[in-house]
């Protein structure tokens, strides 16, 4: 192979290496060749898209639900032969660097995200065509952050929600042996990536059984394709309290630490959304566990620098006929 190296790279726009709507996405395509080569077409593309796909069994057949949305697509031709296929453009031997830049539309677009059944991706792709049977391709994903301050509600709704206010809920459960009441309180409804807050449960156990509180951070991913909906949930245990004996009461507090890598809540994608809740359950022997759920909004914190994921260039042959 005469093409020894083929890659596309983006420039670091900030400390996090991420881009947002309205930014100039710039970078370079690097080609290293062992000798002079003829080129039919050489181009670079920038694309932002969301795509969801999942399958369901319907009697004897498998049904595929899929949909996609394109946020932007740009294409820049670096080299192209003059007579459509005669290979009249020449690339010199050695290391060749070709800069490029694209203006990202200043529209409301969601941040990069990879979920169970779909993803929101922003990428750069380069393609070098030497002949109809020899094509080189390379791709890299670009980390993208929305500029929406609240990608899950309008500002008027945010005033009503009150993310910094304390919230609480009560659950009373009756058993043959008595009554159990739990009052759950969280310090606030909104939490930034990497922040911590206390979650408390007051247990009034008037039953003849001991009960044990458990604390969960619950994630809910919702995907929509062609009017069909699929939901994926994941519960992360972050605390187990001491058992509350029969005929007693106790208040237990656990600290919820929001992982820095957790993805913020978002609704600003028509095909998927991400929500969180705090769930507190009481583990009661031989009885279905009662539970209380409180809404939780994960806010964008200060993101960590991203590591670029560069895919190796590939080439393939097309056989005539």
Can you give the pLDDT at residue 89?
A: 83
Contact 226/67 with Cβ under 8 angstroms? yes
Can you give the pLDDT at residue 315?
A: 43
Can you give the pLDDT at residue 155?
A: 61
Can you give the pLDDT at residue 84?
A: 60
Integer Rg of the chain from CA = 27
Q: What residues form DSSP beta bridges with 68?
A: 51
Q: How far apart are CA 202 and CA 104, in angstroms?
A: 51
> Closest Cα partner for 312 from 7, 4, 10?
7
3-state percent helix, strand, coil for the chain, nearest multiple of 5? 0, 60, 35
List Cα–Cα distances, 244 to 18, 169, 175, 202, 216, in angstroms: 48, 19, 16, 10, 18
pLDDT in tens, the chain (321 residues): 789 999 999 998 787 789 999 999 999 999 999 999 989 899 999 999 999 999 988 878 888 999 999 999 999 999 887 766 556 688 999 999 999 999 999 999 999 999 999 999 999 999 999 888 899 999 999 999 998 877 877 665 665 567 888 899 999 888 777 899 999 999 999 899 999 999 999 999 998 889 999 999 999 999 999 889 999 999 999 999 999 999 999 999 999 998 888 999 999 999 999 999 999 999 887 778 899 999 999 998 765 545 555 554 444 444 343
Please tell me whether residue 40 adopts helix, strand or coil conformation.
Answer: coil
Can you give the pLDDT at residue 14?
A: 81
What domains does the chain contain, in order, with CATH numbers? 3-145+303-316 (2.60.40.640), 155-299 (2.60.40.640)
Can you give the pLDDT at residue 316?
A: 41
Query: What is the full DSSP assignment across 151-175?
Result: TTS-HHHHHHH-TTS-EEEEEEEEE
Q: What is the pTM of this model?
A: 0.85
The 10 Å Cβ neighbour count of residue 294 is 16
């Amino acid at each position: 192979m005469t093409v020894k190296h083929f890659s596309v790279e983006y420039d670091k726009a900030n400390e996090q290496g991420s881009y947002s709507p309205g930014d100039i996405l710039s970078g370079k395509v690097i080609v290293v060749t062992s000798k002079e080569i003829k080129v039919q077409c050489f181009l670079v593309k920038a694309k932002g898209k969301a795509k969801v796909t999942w399958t369901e069994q319907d009697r004897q057949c498998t049904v595929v639900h899929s949909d996609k949305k394109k946020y932007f697509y740009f294409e820049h031709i670096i080299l192209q032969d003059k007579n459509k296929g005669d290979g009249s453009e020449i690339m010199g031997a050695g290391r060749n660097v070709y800069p490029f830049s694209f203006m990202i539309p200043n529209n409301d677009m969601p941040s990069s995200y990879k979920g169970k059944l779909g993803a929101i991706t922003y990428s750069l792709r380069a393609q070098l065509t030497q002949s109809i049977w020899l094509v080189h391709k390379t791709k890299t994903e670009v980390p993208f952050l929305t500029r929406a301050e609240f990608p899950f509600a309008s500002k008027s709704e945010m005033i009503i929600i009150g993310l910094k206010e304390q919230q609480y809920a009560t659950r009373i459960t009756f058993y043959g042996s008595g009554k159990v009441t739990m009052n759950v309180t969280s310090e606030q409804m909104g939490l930034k990536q990497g922040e911590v807050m206390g979650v408390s449960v007051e247990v009034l156990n008037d039953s003849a059984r001991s009960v044990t509180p458990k604390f969960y951070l619950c994630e809910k991913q919702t995907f929509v394709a062609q009017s069909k909906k699929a939901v994926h949930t994941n519960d992360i245990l972050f605390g187990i309290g001491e058992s509350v004996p029969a005929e007693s009461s106790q208040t237990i507090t656990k600290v919820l630490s929001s992982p820095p890598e957790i993805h913020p809540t978002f609704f600003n994608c028509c095909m998927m959304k991400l929500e969180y809740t705090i769930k507190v359950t009481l583990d009661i022997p031989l009885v279905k566990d009662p539970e209380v759920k409180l809404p939780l909004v994960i806010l964008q914190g200060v993101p960590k620098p991203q590591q670029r994921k560069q895919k190796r260039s590939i080439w393939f042959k097309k056989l005539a006929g």
